[in-house]
Structure 1
Amino acid sequence: MWHANSEGGHWLVHFRRDLRDWESLMLEDLLTKIGDCTFSENEDSWVWIWSRKGRFTVKSMYKHLIDEKFTRIGNRVVFPSGLVWGMELPMNIKLFFWSLFLGKTLTRQNLVNRGLEISTCCPLCNLLPESVEHLFLHFPLVLELWFDLLRSKQHLLIKLYEADFVRTWFSQWPTTSGNGLLVRVWSYLPYAVAWITLKSRNNKVFNEGVPQLRRWRCHGIGAAIGLAGTASVSGTWC
């Protein structure tokens, strides 16, 4: 509510609970922006200040959030949207990779970070905490699978060992030449391996399945062909 006085006035805002520190900062910022507004007798209208035409667009909002994050922490990390939304994948798989590249996939480490009281130990190796990077990049069976698939491309294996984030590994995945099917299967190979890794992990957790490298290799190649559009993604390979 606006409280007028001889000096002009100020806003009086009441909440049901005390604000947290970060909420107080947001309120101060909001009141500052409201205080800078000028009023007129014209009819009210909406204006989006972060686009030239004054109209809201997802693109302008995304750019504003990126710029705001850069101003706050000084690190402009752009989400590789083309690696998710630019791929011809079923929507449920796109949503999985969206969360994966953000590091939000529900591994045990992330579940603990959300407040669940469970062990963080990886259910597949029982050695290290199950983080996103461990499960999809550095888990021993995943490394063996990549070694088998990339045996003739040692330079890619080096990039895999050096990758700190899943999105980094996918961003460095090179293109290849050849017939159309070969090119498509190659481009979808990392997606297939990650997808099969997730399914094998869940099979172990919920069905007490035993992961086997031979089946992972066969399923991974089959999934790559399926994702490339020559077979059903939900089908069974091998």
Structure 2
Amino acid sequence: MSDKNTYSGVLIIQFPQKHKQASRHAVKSLYKSLVSGHPISFPSSAIWKVSVQPKVSFFGWEATWGKALTLDQLQRRGWALENRCYVCQRHEESIDHILLHCDKARTLWVLLFSMFGVQWVLLATVKEMLSGWNGTFVGKKRKGVWKASPLCLFWTVWKTRNKVAFEEEELSIQRLKSSFVYFLWSETKRSIKDGPSTLVDFVGWVASC
């Protein structure tokens, strides 16, 4: 999908059979908003009503408004900088690119969807993505983890980006994946009733519920 802040293509999401009807209703509503040209409501509940640290929610809020200090934002403020994504080193850096469409970020989205056993097409912007992040199909036990997943992914990618940019840390895909899964577990384990006590158990629990 393009890095541009426009929506194109078909929204294709596949769910387990028993959850399809409720999930299709939510996706249908989002799709209608996208194709009709009507503005999408700000996804407040997907940012502030999630079991994560306030700083993680705040970054999600910044990202949704496009206020994070990515290179394109710094250029708009008058900084004479070359704009190249610190993470993939291939495309211009914007918040939608780095969190959704960057090849390295996509590896985390693929990992996340495989953990939950779903197929999902990433939308063009962070705002669209969070607006369509409905968790009814994952079941009651996993819903809290699902709701926290995009914010935890955003935070992991952003922290990694900053380490590469400012500490000249070499990017490791395996470390990026491990950091994301660990952070997701650490942020959500307190909200899981009778949940897994170790990281390994957490991965198995997400896949089996």
Pick aligned residue for 2:149 from 189, 209, 214: 189
Q: Deviations over 1:40-97 (max 9, x none)?
A: xxxxxxxxxxxxxxxxxxxxxxxxxxxxxxxxxx965532222222223322222211
| 2:49 counterpart of 1:97 | no
Q: Which has the larger radius of gyration?
A: 1
Normalised to the residue count of structure 2, the TM-score between the two structures is: 0.66
Verify: 1:165 aligned to 2:128, yes or no: no
List runs of 5+ in structure 2 lacking aligned partners.
1-36, 192-198, 201-209
RMSD, aligned CA: 2.3
Q: Is 2:46–2:133's contact at 8 Å kept on the other side of the alignment?
A: no
Structure 1 moving runs of 4+ over 6 Å = none
- Taking the aligned partners of 2:99 and 2:86, their CA distance within structure 1 comes to 13
* Residues 1:186 and 1:93: Cα distance change in structure 2 (over 3 Å): same
**Cα displacement string for residues 1-45 of structure 1 (whole angstroms, at most 9, x for unaligned residues):** xxxxxxxxxxxxxxxxxxxxxxxxxxxxxxxxxxxxxxxxxxxxx
Q: In the alignment, is residue 153 of structure 1 matched against residue 113 of structure 2?
A: no
Matched, 1:219 2:182: no
| Partners of 2:72 and 2:83 within 8 A in 1 | yes
The yes-or-no answer on 1:210 pairing with 2:170 is: yes
d(CA) in 1 for partners of 2:110, 2:40: 29
Question: In the alignment, is residue 174 of structure 1 matched against residue 137 of structure 2?
Answer: no
One-letter code of the match for 2:44? Answer: S
CA distance in 1, matches of 2:185, 2:147: 10
**Which residue is equivalent to 2:160?**
200
Contact kept in structure 1, 2:41 and 2:131, CA below 8 Å: no
SS in 1 for 2:88: coil
Deviates more, 1:81-90 or 1:131-140: 81-90
Q: 1:98 to 1:149 in 2, by over 3 A?
A: closer
Q: Which runs of 5+ in 1 are unaligned?
A: 1-73, 232-236
Equivalent residues, number: 153
- Using CA pairs below 8 Å that are at least 6 residues apart, which structure has the higher relative contact order? 2
How far off is 1:118 after superposition? 0.9
TM-score, normalised to structure 1's length?
Answer: 0.58
C-alpha contact (below 8 Å) 2:42/2:131 kept by paired residues = no
Q: Which has more helix, going by share of residues?
A: 2
Superposed CA offset, 1:75-128 (max 9, x none):
655322222222233222222111110011110011101111111111122211
Q: Report what 2:71 is aligned to.
A: 108
> Identity of counterpart residues, as a percentage?
25
CA contact 1:189–1:221 (8 Å) conserved in 2: no
Q: For the residues of structure 1 that align with 2:129 and 2:167, how far apart are their CA atoms?
A: 30
- 1:84 maps to 47
In the alignment, the residues of structure 2 paired with residue 108 and residue 216 of structure 1 have an alpha-carbon distance, to the nearest angstrom, of 21
Match of 1:138 in 2: 101
